[in-house]
Amino acid sequence: MNNSDLQQNSYPAQQNSKASLLIAENDSAAVRTILKASAMKGLLATVATDVAEALRLSEYGRFDLVFIGEGFCSGNLRLLEKIKIANPEMPVILLADCKNDNLNETIQNIVELIQAGITNVILKPVENTAIIKLFETLVPNRPVTNIAGCPDSENNIYSIIGSSSELLKAVELARKTAASSVPVLLAGESGTGKELFARLIHRFSNRTTRPYVTVNCAALNDAPLESELFGHEKGAFTGAFTQRKGRFEMANGGTILLDEISETPLSFQAKLLRVLEQQDFQRVGGNENIKVNVRLICTTNRDLLALVRERKFRLDLYYRICGVKLVLPPLKERKDDMHDLVWHFVNLYSHQTNRRISRLDPAMLEDFCRFNWPGNIRQLRNVVRMLLVLGQGQTLSIVNIPWLLEEPSVDDDTSNPGSQITGLGKMPLEHIEQCAILETLRQNDNNQTQAARVLGISDRTLREKVKKYKTHEILQNA
Q: Is the pLDDT reported for residue 163 higher than 90? A: no
Please indicate whether residue 297 or residue 442 has the higher confidence score (pLDDT): 297
**What pLDDT was estimated at residue 122?**
87
Please indicate whether residue 78 or residue 207 has the higher confidence score (pLDDT): 207
Same domain for 429 and 397: yes
Please indicate whether residue 244 or residue 4 has the higher confidence score (pLDDT): 244
Among 170-184, 187-201, 216-230, name the one with the lowest average pLDDT: 216-230
Reported as a pLDDT band with limits 50, 70 and 90, residue 146 is: confident
**What pLDDT was estimated at residue 304?**
93
**What pLDDT was estimated at residue 377?**
92
Summarised one tens digit per residue, pLDDT across range 68-98 is: 887 665 556 777 878 877 777 788 888 887 6
Domain boundary among 120, 138, 156: 138
Q: For residue 50, what is the enclosing H or E element?
A: none
393: left (phi over 0), alpha (psi -120 to 50) or beta: left
Same domain for 363 and 318: no
Q: Is residue 2 included in any domain, yes or no?
A: no
**What pLDDT was estimated at residue 1?**
40
Over residues 16-22, the mean pLDDT reads 72
Confirm if 232 and 286 have CB atoms less than 8 A apart.
yes
Q: Is the pLDDT reported for residue 398 higher than 60? A: yes
CATH of the domain at 122: 3.40.50.2300
Please indicate whether residue 72 or residue 186 has the higher confidence score (pLDDT): 186
Which residues span the domain enclosing 399?
332-477
Summarised one tens digit per residue, pLDDT across range 296-335 is: 999 999 999 999 999 999 999 999 999 999 999 999 999 9
- Cα separation, 204 vs 199, whole angstroms: 9
Q: Is residue 455 included in any domain, yes or no?
A: yes
Domain boundary among 91, 115, 138: 138
Same domain for 378 and 301: no
Same domain for 322 and 339: no
